[in-house]
Amino acid sequence: MPSVIQVGIIGFGLSGRYFHAPFLSVNPRFHLKKVASSRPDAVRRFDASIEWVATPDELFADPAIDLVFICSPNETHVDYARKALEHRKHVVVEKPFALSEPEAVELLALAQRQGCIATAYQNRRWDSDFLTVKRLLADGSLGTLIDYECRYDRFSPVPPDSQSWKEQPGLGRGNLYNLGPHLLDQALHLFGKPDTVQATLRIVRPNSHVTDYFDIKLGYADKIVRVESNLLVYHNQLRYSVHGTGGSFIKGGLDVQEERLRQNELPNQEAWGIEPQDRWGTLYRESQSELITSESGNYTPFYDNLYDAIVNGTEPAVTPADIQQLARVIDLALESNRTQRTIPFSL
C-alpha cells in the first residue's frame, strides 16, 4: 500500500461533497483521485483536478484506486460495496451500511476474504455534543447512569414537488435509515449490546411517503436508553437528557461541523468544531447548576484511523462487530414495530 491512499467517491451529494471531500482534500495521507457522479459541475467546482466519471463501474475499473467511499442512495450501498471489494478495494459505506443484518454479514465476510477493510461512516461519534456526554459519563460527573435519552429532530416538511430520493418510498428509505443509524450507533458505542429492542415507527408529516418518526427503546438491566427522531418539530433544540445518581445533563443544539462544511469551509481551519457557548449543556447537581464547556467536534480522527487500519493493520474505529450489531437493532426495530412487541436482541 502506498504512503498516500488513492480515493474514489461514488455520489457527490451532501455526503460525498460536504462530508468526505473536504476532509480527504486537506489530509495529506489521502488523494481524492476520482468521483463517479451525475453532478460533474459540482465535482469541478469543488476541485477541477479531480477526475469525473459517469458510472461507478468506471471507478471500480481504475487500478490506481485503493479506497472507495460509497455515498449513493441507500439501496445501492450493498451492490456497490460488493463490486468494490471484488476489485480488491477498501470501502467506507455511508449509513446505512446495509439494509439488513444478513446483507451486512455477507459484505463483511467478503471483505475478510479479499483482505480489505470494510467499515461504516459513523461520524456522529465525533460530534461535539456526543463527545461531551461521553466525557461526563466517563469521569463520573453524573454518578451511576439511570436514564439516557437522545433526540435528533428536524423541521423538514415534504415539498409538494419533492424529487429527492430520500422522500420516495422504497426499501431502505425513511428516517430509521437516515438519522436512526447515528443515534443508535452512539447508544451502542456507549452501552454495548442491549437485551431487547422496542420500537414505534410512524409517518407524521403531511404528504410523506416514508417513515419520518421513530421512538426506539434499547433494553438494559440497569438503565433506560431511548432514542427518538421526528421530522416535523419546529423547536428542535433538545438533544440529550442524561440522568444519573449524581446529576443530570441537558444539552441542546447541533454540532457545528455540518453547517460549516455546507458553507464551503474546510476542516483545517483554526478553531474547527468549537461550539458557541449558547449550545453548551448544563449539569445539574443537588441545588446547583453548571454550564459545561463542550468538547470540540472533529471528524478527522475517523480518517486518521481509517488510514492506520488500511496501512498499518490497526482495528477500524467502526468495527465489523459494531456494524453487525447496529444492523440487527434496525432489523429488530422493524420487527418490533410490525408486531408491537418487545424483541430480544439475541435471536
- Is residue 158 exposed (0-12), middle (13-18) or buried (19+ Cβ within 10 Å)? middle
Report pLDDT for 254: 93
Query: By C-alpha distance, which of 187, 214, 204, 90 is closest to 133?
Result: 187
Distance of alpha carbon 223 from the chain centroid: 24
Cell numbers representing residue 157 in the block: 416538511
Report pLDDT for 2: 64
C-alpha span between 210 and 180 (Å, rounded): 14
C-alpha span between 48 and 275 (Å, rounded): 32
C-alpha span between 242 and 292 (Å, rounded): 14
Helix axes 77-86, 101-114, angle to 10 degrees: 10
Own/partner contacts of 199-204, CB < 8 Å, gap of 24 or more, are 199/332, 199/333, 199/334, 199/336, 199/337, 200/337, 201/174, 201/176, 201/333, 201/334, 201/337, 204/230, 204/231, 204/232
Beta-bridge partner residues of 344: 196
Query: By C-alpha distance, which of 235, 233, 231, 258 is closest to 158?
Result: 231
Distance of alpha carbon 313 from the chain centroid: 23
Pair 143, 221: CB distance under 8 Å: no
Amino acid identity, position 151: R
- Cα–Cα distances (Å) from 271 to 208, 253, 286, in that order, read 39, 18, 34
What are the DSSP E strand ranges found in 122-278?
145-151, 196-202, 213-219, 224-230, 238-244, 247-252
Domain ranges of the chain: 5-121, 124-299+330-344
Q: Which helix (H) or strand (E) holds 139?
A: helix 128-139
C-alpha span between 343 and 333 (Å, rounded): 8
Beta-bridge partner residues of 91: 68, 118
DSSP string, 15-39: IIIIIIHHHHHT-TTEEEEEEE-S-
- Is residue 156 exposed (0-12), middle (13-18) or buried (19+ Cβ within 10 Å)? middle
Pair 181, 84: CB distance under 8 Å: no
Report pLDDT for 22: 97
Query: Which residues in the chain show pLDDT less than 70?
Result: 1-2, 347
pLDDT digits (tens, 9 = 90+) for 171-190: 899 999 999 999 999 999 99
C-alpha span between 283 and 269 (Å, rounded): 30
Architecture of domain 5-121 in CATH?
3-Layer(aba) Sandwich (3.40)
pLDDT digits (tens, 9 = 90+) for 309-326: 999 999 999 999 999 999
On the CB side of 108, CA atoms within 13 Å amount to 20
Query: By C-alpha distance, which of 2, 108, 27 is closest to 298?
Result: 27
Distance of alpha carbon 333 from the chain centroid: 18
Report pLDDT for 164: 83
C-alpha span between 179 and 326 (Å, rounded): 13
Report pLDDT for 1: 56
Architecture of domain 124-299+330-344 in CATH?
2-Layer Sandwich (3.30)
